[in-house]
Amino acid sequence: MGKKIVFVTGANKGIGFGIAKHLGLSGWQVIIGARDEQRAGKAIGELKAAGIDVLGWVAIELKDLANIEQAAKEINERFPELTLLVNNAGIPGDMSVDSEHTEINVIRETLDVNYIGTFALTKALIPLIAKNNGRIANVTVPSEISPYWHPLAYVASKAAQNAMMGVMAIEFQQSNTPVEIFSVHPGPTTTDLNGNMALPGFHDIETVGQKFAELINDGQRHQGEFIELYPIVKED
């Protein structure tokens, strides 16, 4: 295999940072996707201090289609050997209300970022990834509804992302497109997205990042799979 180069969206903090760090520690060259230059710079400094080969960062705002087009163009020009896209970036929507009290604009905004934006970036990078016989990994949650945790806007946006993954996987196989796509559910993880929730069964970003890197490096084919790193633990 040639160079191992990964672009991780939302890599300046949380699960994305953990993924970038542990892929980097396992030999991957890392490109940081972030919305803010200062936060990207801070993350890059921490990663480089850990001995990780950070190739640079790309400004990515998933609610802005013009920005996504520009980011994809930049990646093609600066990093033509990209072999892995990790679609990690996303927004939570309003996790404090039930579906009846969820505002339509919150649903729309969450779908725009988590699904439309992710689809647009994926679509834009497929030709490059295909050229390099690469992979796409989506960080997502189960489409099956959990009775314990089910914020509507977020779950709906991730269900759409899972559908995208499944359809693309079948089409890649049918057309012999040399791209592998799959979804990864980290399981309950303490991050800013959930207000740093830390309940029994939750993991930290270091644990999740390491487990994710192990999956990416396992040498197996995961086309069309939905993989749970740490399944949600049912309450008694």
> What per-residue confidence (pLDDT) applies to 188?
59
Q: Where are the beta strands (DSSP E) in the chain?
A: 5-9, 29-34, 54-59, 84-87, 135-139, 180-185, 226-228
Q: How confident is the prediction along the chain (236 residues), in pLDDT tens digits per residue?
A: 468 999 999 999 999 999 999 999 999 999 999 999 999 999 999 999 999 999 999 999 999 999 999 999 999 999 999 999 999 999 999 989 999 999 999 999 999 999 999 999 999 999 999 999 999 999 999 888 877 778 899 999 999 999 999 999 999 999 999 999 999 998 655 455 555 555 445 557 788 999 999 999 999 999 999 998 876 655 44
pTM for the predicted model, two decimal places: 0.91
Q: Give CA–CA dist 181/119, Å, rounded.
A: 12
Contacts of 191 by beta carbon, 8 Å cutoff, 6+ apart: 13, 14, 15, 205
**H or E segment to which residue 42 belongs:** helix 37-49
> What per-residue confidence (pLDDT) applies to 199?
45
Residue 27 is given by DSSP the state T
> What per-residue confidence (pLDDT) applies to 202?
59
Residue 13 is given by DSSP the state S
Using a 10 angstrom Cβ sphere, with 0-12 exposed, 13-18 middle and 19 or more buried, the burial of residue 159 is middle
CB neighbourhood size of 105 (10 A):
10
